[in-house]
Structure 1
């Protein structure tokens, strides 16, 4: 049973100190008069001091009449107030920026929310940069992020549900969806997975996605994490369910299909033919990134006959001094690329960019001159690395880079048969995956041709009448097609 607020002031002060382990950050102010004793507690630096002094301390100290719990809630000029009689709940509110007012002899404590929220200003997105469209990104403040979403989705149809995550360290989360669009099963699945979590704490939405996704053992992400408000709001307006977490600059969206990880909101801001071309370019880059290096290894190890004669002479001259078989050579260079990428990401921005460019050129040239590798493999590895960076989703790009390593090993062991085996295993794996219980390879499996214009390519807005079928939205149509194509010109006078 939770400890209740004692009626004696000394017992109350002692109990509060024990809850905070005698922390010097817990500030205790005692005001005594001939009528009563009032004790105020707050955590230093967690509350707005100007509001505390002006709107709470000044009325309490200047009044000559006794205060009651009812008077505190109705006569103090602060909007957010409530009463509690549980010491544990009072402690939790104090940690989150509330001020407690205890009147000796009263069984309840009045809590005023005066949080001093630290947040950075809205800035440009770092990991999902855009050329066209809105440039702002989410911040670590839940309040700021909710304001941005409500500003973009200006409708009373927007539903925001509060969920508390973490057993030891609490984190506040929000489930966000449009009531008239979001499928109830999707909403219930997301809500159940969040409420069923039994963990000490949830550090970030990227951690949360790993905890609630359908298959945590898969290398592929099943829920999109994004820092772009326009991408989040666009997904919500399509009938998906989003999750925000306090202190996290990214948000979650689901259900998602595999192909939507290669979409960017920038595809909507350019003309449909350009958007389609760029999207196909990303799919082609993904395929090149996965198979180009394994094909090089397979061809040089087992299948010289598939290489043109003129190129075969050049390859032979280039590899004449290389002491390693193609599979070892490819793996070493792939590891070198990964070392450069990781080192560039960890160093300061200017130093990291310089080190990545200079390091790649110097090490590549030195490796070729030393006979460590061939010129052609340097080109193949560079193309594969560039192709993997075209994915708008960082997590999907990382998954593609990881897939290359087992494919290179299989190509070195069995040649083209190994590559075919790896690709078959990859397709079977993707067919088995789900996102919030929905098929991951939609609209390819199950086949739904009308959804191709939303997932595989980008058609004109006038043709994009229906929402994706696999999301199972309540309202299937975006608009009336017959009215959308009407173009009534103004008659000349």
Structure 2
């Protein structure tokens, strides 16, 4: 009991002198950090007022012009309330707990204390250094806004506010992290987004127990439905236009401070093969490219396993002319097809990873020159065949057509277990792995919503929103997979379109 009262007395230091508060804050809250400073100001009424702050994370011009200078020029006797009214900056707090004061100081606040007063006043004036708005790096676009999110959550919110200019945009703020608190903003359209989705995501954010949130990618893994799955259940995008478009469709967006990307939920498997270029371009181009990406995904995970299974167990499925060509190509290869394919696939991953980690110009040269030189060298050395190099290159190119980097990486990793099963069990192992992957996808959920919609559960009306792209005049409803409150769009439909009304009339009429 005595220990508890001593602790309470330590936390309630006020009233005290300015020097005593400085000593307590520096030793207990600031851990004797050298960037913690105190400035003492004496008013004309002979009041001593202290300003405590970390000079490395506050805006010095705002601090001196809008906080210290007005207090210093005051001619009347001041108290906490009068100082608060004098300072025009928002976000003020009155605190007497040392731990709370220290936490706010670390977040960029300045503590104002009148000597021997019962309370201190804190104003937030954080100095946040972040990069300017630039082009997206991992999600390139041909059409549309050529901008990406930045590390500043304020800048990101500004971009979303400008793109979703409506009072129905609801924003909820969360502070997550026991050791290093991080600001997280959840946003959605309150007249479109499903209430169950909003409540579920809100509960996951509020119940999350973690020391800190590094960025959006980490947070998405901490709150997804199945953290052990190789497939991402939330989309992490650095494109503000894709983020805002998803919100308009009834989905929920999450922004994390100091993270140049946003989270979109709930999501479906087919959403990872969509791009905003499909929307900005002509509908026939979007229709073709979406189908091409889905076909490329199938080619990426099946082409080399089929090669291994056919050459190891099932020669009869290979046409005779192609079989002769394969035999000539592999007559000097000392390895079985399984080992040959694993060596070449691993080598391709080495080249890809090296090109990604090296500086941009060097990485491009490494990827092109390295692939050509190493590919020609391994063929001449007899480690692999020409045909397998073609197949591995096609599989790699097919995997790069996926707009989402995380999903593309997951598909490349999936090739290895499929190849191994195909090498040991032939087509039986190949189809066993495909069935296992399909069953796993059918069991996955994103915010408890089906991951494989609209294929399963089958919803024909949603195919024009995911698998294909149709003209805007026919796109009258939002996808129902996320159960939005409003499925009908408010825009013009084919019956109200002015072009349809004037059809058949002369231009003079």
Distance in 2 (CA, whole Å) between partners of 1:5 and 1:67 is 21
TM-fit CA distance, 1:485: 4.7
The offset of 1:165, in angstroms, is: 0.7
Deviation at 1:419, TM superposition (A): 1.0
Contact 1:73 1:82 in 2 (8 A): no
Question: 1:193: Cα distance to partner?
Answer: 0.6
CA RMSD after TM alignment:
1.5
1:29 to 15, 30, 39: 39
Tell me, in whole angstroms, the C-alpha distance in 2 between the residues paired with 1:383 and 1:77. 62
CA distance in 1, matches of 2:422, 2:70: 78
Aligned to 2:338: 327
**More moved, 45-54 vs 293-302:** 45-54
Q: Is the 8 A contact 1:462 1:484 kept in 2?
A: no
Rounded Cα–Cα distance in structure 2 between residues aligned with 1:226 and 1:52: 36
In 2, the alpha carbon distance for the partners of 1:108 and 1:250 equals 39
Q: Give the match's secondary structure for 1:462.
A: helix
User: What TM-score, normalized to structure 2?
Assistant: 0.94
* Partner-residue secondary structure (3-state), 1:469: coil
Which piece of structure 1 moves more, 114-123 or 254-263? 114-123
1:414-449 deviations in whole A, cap 9, x for unaligned? 111111111111110000000010000000111110
- Distance of 1:433 and 1:51 partners within structure 2: 50
Say whether residues 1:208 and 2:208 are aligned partners: no
Partner residue, 1:38: 49
Cα distance, 1:340 vs. partner? 0.6
Moved more, 258-267 or 35-44: 35-44
**Within 1, Cα distance between the matches of 2:405 and 2:125?**
38
- For residues 353-385 of structure 1, the C-alpha deviation after alignment (integer angstroms, 9 at most, x for no partner) is 111111111110000000010000000000000
Of 60, 63, 67, the residue aligned with 1:52 is: 63
Q: Does 1:7 align with 2:23?
A: no
| 1:366 lines up with 2:377 in the alignment | yes
Deviates further, 363-372 or 25-34: 25-34
- Higher mean Cα deviation, 45-54 or 475-484? 475-484
Greater Cα shift, 478-487 or 339-348: 478-487
CA shift at 1:81, angstroms?
A: 2.5
Q: Give per-residue Cα distances to partners, 1:218-243, cap 9 Å, x unaligned.
A: 10001000000000000000000110
CA displacement at 1:58 relative to structure 2:
1.8
> Using the alignment, how far apart are the partners of 2:431 and 2:68 within structure 1?
74
- Aligned residue number for residue 179 of structure 2: 168
1:168-218 Cα deviation digits (max 9, x unpaired)? 111000000001001111001111111111111110111111100000111
Query: Which residue does the alignment assign to 1:492?
Result: 508
Pick aligned residue for 1:16 from 13, 25, 34: 25
Matched, 1:437 2:448: yes
**Post-superposition shift, 1:481?**
4.2
The aligned residue for residue 435 of structure 2 is 424
Deviation at 1:484, TM superposition (A): 4.0
Aligned match of 1:108: 119
Partner of 2:420: 409
3-state SS of 2:472 partner: coil
Q: Do the aligned partners of 2:133 and 2:150 also contact (CA within 8 Å) in 1?
A: yes
> What SS class does the counterpart of residue 200 from structure 1 fall into?
coil
Q: Is the 8 A contact 2:169 2:189 kept in 1?
A: yes
Which residue, out of 272, 291, 307, partners 2:302? 291
In the TM superposition, what are the counterparts of 1:306-345 in structure 2 within 5 Å? 306-345=317-356
Q: Deviations over 1:336-355 (max 9, x none)?
A: 00011111111111111111
1:59 deviates by 2.1
Unmatched segments (≥5 aa) in structure 1: none
1:355 to 366, 390, 406: 366
Deviation of the 1:155 alpha carbon = 0.5
Greater shift in the superposed pair: 396-405 or 7-16: 7-16
Contact 2:14/2:119 (8 A) holds in 1: no
**How many aligned positions are there?**
493
Q: TM-score, normalised by structure 1?
A: 0.97
Q: Please report how far the alpha carbon of residue 472 of structure 1 lies from its aligned counterpart in structure 2 after TM superposition.
A: 0.7
| Contact 1:140-1:249 within 8 A present in 2 as well | yes
Hey, what's the Cα distance between the residues in 2 that align with 1:443 and 1:387? 23
What is the CA distance between 1:482 and its match in structure 2?
A: 5.9
Moved more, 180-189 or 479-488: 479-488
Unaligned runs of at least 5 residues, structure 2: 1-6
- 2:40·2:51 contact (CA, 8 Å) conserved in 1? yes
State whether residues 16 and 117 of structure 2, in contact with CA within 8 Å, keep that contact through their aligned partners in structure 1: no
Distance 1:104 1:164 in 2: 32
Matches of residues 20-169 of structure 1 in structure 2 within 5 Å?
20-32=30-42, 35-169=46-180
Deviation at 1:80, TM superposition (A): 3.7
- For residues 484 and 323 of structure 1, the distance between their equivalents in structure 2, rounded to whole angstroms, comes to 69
Aligned mates of 1:71, 1:61 — CA distance in 2: 13
In structure 2, the partner of 1:464 is 475
